[in-house]
């Protein structure tokens, strides 16, 4: 608890600098990663993050120490070379994009590991701590490092904010953007530069192995909560910042723990919560919606069966006759009978079931929707009358009153369906 209070009250200026750097890194990475995720280029970010390792080693060799300017420059040029090769191979070979990215990722990372192992055996005392670029160590960042990485993050955030419209066109409709005069090739080139910079900025704090997670996971998790771009960017930035701060706190409390894996752990937890509990796309919400839909389907079928019986001048159906109509849904039909009886839609008299006045109105509505949709499929889609029933069975549960009114108007208020059965509109149709 003492460490928690010490860390989050920012008594130590170095902690304040680290947290500020993590916030800038998280926002910049989340912005770039969200656009990359929406552009379906998530794997490219993973390839770049692994491909910058040789550049880090080259930067160290040229500087003879962990000079952040040399390290950043080497990593940037290594990432740029990987991006160029990815584009060139895609344009001049028949290899698929995922094959190209996997090859570049493996080759560059393999070369980087060989170079780093060789450097570690060179006996150079300055090599100590260079391997933290693999898994990251935010607490080990110096004030000079933070000024460089934080400054680059700020540049990324400003460019993405100022050119939001251009990047939105690049992701959602580049053809339209080109048609109205935007230089889409230049915008994509600029975005690739920003993506490389975002990866390079995160190497010290998160590490080359897991930087792709900080790019992609926040946007993917935020996508479960919203479909709009601005809230998506803000939510992704929030997830990224929270995970970064918590990962940094763990590294502060447990100095031997690298920051990158813990940031990914917290990001994964947020992604899991989003996947499970988000109100629109979460697995629980979808399961509940499907359960309610199936329940409504069974209820509608039961009402429709009772209405058709009355059309045939049969005032009641026995429970056994209803089971015979739906032999594979007996348990669901039992629940539907109880539910409709509670709503006063049906009356149960021993083994006989009859529609109430309230139930007749609802049953008539369902039958009307079914027959209107059958007629629409027959007349507008040219589907034969004996093939329209199954589709109408599915659509009758989804049509809203607005769609029903539009359908009636489109069909000119018909009286008969394709099977020459009456489309009921008033209680007198019974």
- Alpha-carbon distance of 272 to 280, in angstroms, equals 15
Mean pLDDT of all residues in 273-296: 90
Point out which residues pair with 416 in neighbouring strands. 422
**Core vs surface per residue 115-129: b (16+ CB within 10 A) or e:** bbeebeeeeeeebee
Mean pLDDT of all residues in 349-370: 89
Helix or strand or coil: residue 42? helix
- Alpha-carbon distance of 160 to 167, in angstroms, equals 8
Token pair, residue 315, equals 């005032």
Any idea what the Cα angle at residue 371 is, between residues 366 and 377, rounded to 5°?
130
List the strands of the sheet with 352-355, edge to edge.
317-318, 352-355, 346-349
Predicted pLDDT at 248: 83
In this prediction, residue 426 has a pLDDT band, given cuts at 50, 70 and 90, of low
Using the structure block, give the residue that is written with the tokens 């344009």.
91
In this prediction, residue 65 has a pLDDT band, given cuts at 50, 70 and 90, of confident
pLDDT higher than 70, residue 428:
no
Mean pLDDT of all residues in 387-413: 85
Predicted pLDDT at 429: 54
- Asked if 49 and 211 touch (Cβ cutoff 8 Å), the reply is yes
Point out which residues pair with 352 in neighbouring strands. 318, 349
304: which residues sit within 8 A by CB, 6+ positions away? 363, 366, 367, 370
- Alpha-carbon distance of 141 to 258, in angstroms, equals 12
- Asked if 392 and 370 touch (Cβ cutoff 8 Å), the reply is yes
pLDDT higher than 90, residue 271:
yes
24-33, 130-139, 253-262, 299-308, range with the lowest pLDDT: 130-139
Tally of CA atoms within 13 A in the half-sphere of 130 that contains its CB: 30
- Alpha-carbon distance of 130 to 342, in angstroms, equals 71
Burial bucket for residue 401 (CB in 10 Å: 0-12, 13-18, 19+): exposed
Predicted pLDDT at 208: 76
Looking at every residue in the chain, the average pLDDT score rounds to: 86
Mean pLDDT of all residues in 265-292: 90
Helix or strand or coil: residue 354? strand
pLDDT higher than 80, residue 380:
yes
In this prediction, residue 231 has a pLDDT band, given cuts at 50, 70 and 90, of very high
> What are 242-261's pLDDT values in tens digits?
988 888 888 888 877 777 78
Predicted pLDDT at 105: 87
**Predicted TM-score of the model (pTM):** 0.76
pLDDT higher than 90, residue 225:
yes
pLDDT higher than 60, residue 280:
yes
4-13, 53-62, 96-105, 180-189, range with the lowest pLDDT: 4-13
Mean pLDDT of all residues in 106-120: 89
The DSSP output letter for 83 is: H
11-15, 53-57, 80-84, range with the lowest pLDDT: 11-15
- Alpha-carbon distance of 430 to 428, in angstroms, equals 5
In this prediction, residue 47 has a pLDDT band, given cuts at 50, 70 and 90, of confident
In this prediction, residue 315 has a pLDDT band, given cuts at 50, 70 and 90, of confident
- Alpha-carbon distance of 27 to 110, in angstroms, equals 30
Q: What is the CA radius of gyration of the chain?
A: 31
Predicted pLDDT at 372: 92
Mean pLDDT of all residues in 173-197: 91
- List the domains of the chain with CATH numbers: 1-278 (1.10.3470.10), 285-355 (1.10.10), 360-411 (1.10.60)
> What are 139-179's pLDDT values in tens digits?
667 777 778 888 888 999 999 999 999 999 999 999 999 99
> What are 1-41's pLDDT values in tens digits?
777 787 777 777 777 877 888 888 889 889 999 999 898 88
235: which residues sit within 8 A by CB, 6+ positions away? 218, 222, 225, 226
What region does 314 belong to: left with phi over 0, alpha with psi -120 to 50, or beta? beta
- Alpha-carbon distance of 96 to 287, in angstroms, equals 36
Token pair, residue 174, equals 């580049």
Token pair, residue 321, equals 């006759």
């Amino acid at each position: 608890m003492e460490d928690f209070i010490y860390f989050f009250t920012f008594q130590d200026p170095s902690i304040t600098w680290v947290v500020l750097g993590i916030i800038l890194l998280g926002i910049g990475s989340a912005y770039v990663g969200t656009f990359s995720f929406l552009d379906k280029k998530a794997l490219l970010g993973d390839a770049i993050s692994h491909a910058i390792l040789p550049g880090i080693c080259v930067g160290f060799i040229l500087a003879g120490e962990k000079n952040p300017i040399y390290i950043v420059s080497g990593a940037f040029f290594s990432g740029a070379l990987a991006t160029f090769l990815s584009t060139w191979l895609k344009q001049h070979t028949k290899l698929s994009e995922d094959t190209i990215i996997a090859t570049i990722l493996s080759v560059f990372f393999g070369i980087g590991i060989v170079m780093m192992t060789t450097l570690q055996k060179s006996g150079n005392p300055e090599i100590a701590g260079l391997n933290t670029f693999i898994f990251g160590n935010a607490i080990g960042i110096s004030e000079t490092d933070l000024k460089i990485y934080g400054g680059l993050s700020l540049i990324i955030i400003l460019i993405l904010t100022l050119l939001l419209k251009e990047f939105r066109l690049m992701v959602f409709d580049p053809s339209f953007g080109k048609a109205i005069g935007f230089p889409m090739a230049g915008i994509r080139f600029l975005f690739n530069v920003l993506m490389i910079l975002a990866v390079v900025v995160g190497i010290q704090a998160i590490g080359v192995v897991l930087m792709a997670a900080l790019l992609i996971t926040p946007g993917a998790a935020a996508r479960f909560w919203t479909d709009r771009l601005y809230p998506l960017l803000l939510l992704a930035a929030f997830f990224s910042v929270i995970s970064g701060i918590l990962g940094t706190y763990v590294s502060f409390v447990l100095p031997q723990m690298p920051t990158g894996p813990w940031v990914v752990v917290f990001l994964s937890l947020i992604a899991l919560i989003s996947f499970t509990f988000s109100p629109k796309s979460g697995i629980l919400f979808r399961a509940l919606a499907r359960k309610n839909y199936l329940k409504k389907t069974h209820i509608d079928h039961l009402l429709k069966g009772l209405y058709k019986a009355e059309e045939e001048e049969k005032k009641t159906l026995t429970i056994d006759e209803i089971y015979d109509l739906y032999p594979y849904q007996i348990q669901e039909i039992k629940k539907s009978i109880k539910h409709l009886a509670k709503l006063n839609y049906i009356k149960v008299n021993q083994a006989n079931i009859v529609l109430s006045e309230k139930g007749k109105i609802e049953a008539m509505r369902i039958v009307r929707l079914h027959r209107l949709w059958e007629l629409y499929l027959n007349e507008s889609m040219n589907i034969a009358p004996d093939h329209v029933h199954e589709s109408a069975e599915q659509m009758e549960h989804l049509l809203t009153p607005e769609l029903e009114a539009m359908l009636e108007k489109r069909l000119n208020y018909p009286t008969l369906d394709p099977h020459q059965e009456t489309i009921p509109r008033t209680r007198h149709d019974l």
